Structure 1
Amino acid sequence: MSPPPARVVTDLSTPEAVRAAYAAHGDELYRLSLRALGDQGGAQDAVQETFLRAWRARETYDVGRASLRTWLFQIARNVVVDAQRARGSRPWLRALADHPTLEEAAPAVPDGWEEQLRRILVEDALRRLGEDHRRALAETYLADRPYPEVAAELGIPESTLRSRVFYGLKALRVVMEEMEVRP
């Protein structure tokens, strides 16, 4: 007998939902925070602050605009940026960090964080497109495959594939605007 499927969390309306969201996304938020901040304590604080801000703003979350995961990552990004700014304005805080952790952790690279967050947002936006447009974009743009090869695999004319990519990109822009993602 297989275990019951994991509960998909779509809100933070109860303490139980927050615990489920933490179980589902806490580890990944911690890893990204650790990579961006470079110390375990700061990463733990960032994750805790992320869930605290999410709990306080739970009424503003709209499942129609973004997944809970995407929303949490946007909050975490802001928390990490705030922590980096605080660290920059108070250099003595860096001396209090866990030095062995700093040596093992990757250097603070906000661009890596931005890239990861962008990838999450694009994945979420792609899920909202129709299957034909999503597949056309995934195969041509994300997999960087040539149009003739993809068209042959899909069994459609190359012009049809090009049309799907064109309209898929337009639809993706609209979805990203709805999600309030800026280029």
Structure 2
Amino acid sequence: MKVKNCLTSDIEDIMALYNAARDLQMQRKMVVWPFFEYSYLKKEIDESRQWKIVIDHIIACNWTITFEDKEIWGEKDKNDAIYIHRICTNPKLRGNRYIDEIVDWAKEYAKNLGKRFVRLDTLGNNTKLIQHYTSAGFSFLGMVKLTETNNLPAHYQNERNCCRFELDLQIRN
């Protein structure tokens, strides 16, 4: 198992993972991710913000990061965190707790950048994801109502209730 930056050649596989995630989200009646354009994903890859866990040459899991997230984190966004978005697991490999690998990687990555926090969010009152993220060491900071969503992806436009999670790297996790 290895964490690597995604490559442009991974985009078709990433899109297939997103399609599978959308199917699962619809089946579970969750907030559904929009279709992400090839150019959108390529930009994230070109900026070294798309990551993957590879097992036997297969993308087991992927996610993207940002270094600011003011629309979701407001005044808490002080250039002191990395923000994880769109964690997506290969449907054939679900249940393997890749979140633990992502957390280990994110802690090291954030520390190397001099950041204090690793943060992520999820939309709606998804109790299973709240439990999943807290079991991986994140503190659940509660739900906030998003007000400024114009610059966020489409799924943030319809669902404004946002659960926020944080790992404080200055506290032993």
User: Normalising by the residue count of structure 1, what TM-score does the alignment of the two structures yield?
Assistant: 0.28
Q: Kindly indicate which of the two structures has a greater share of residues assigned to strand.
A: 2
User: Normalising by the residue count of structure 2, what TM-score does the alignment of the two structures yield?
Assistant: 0.29
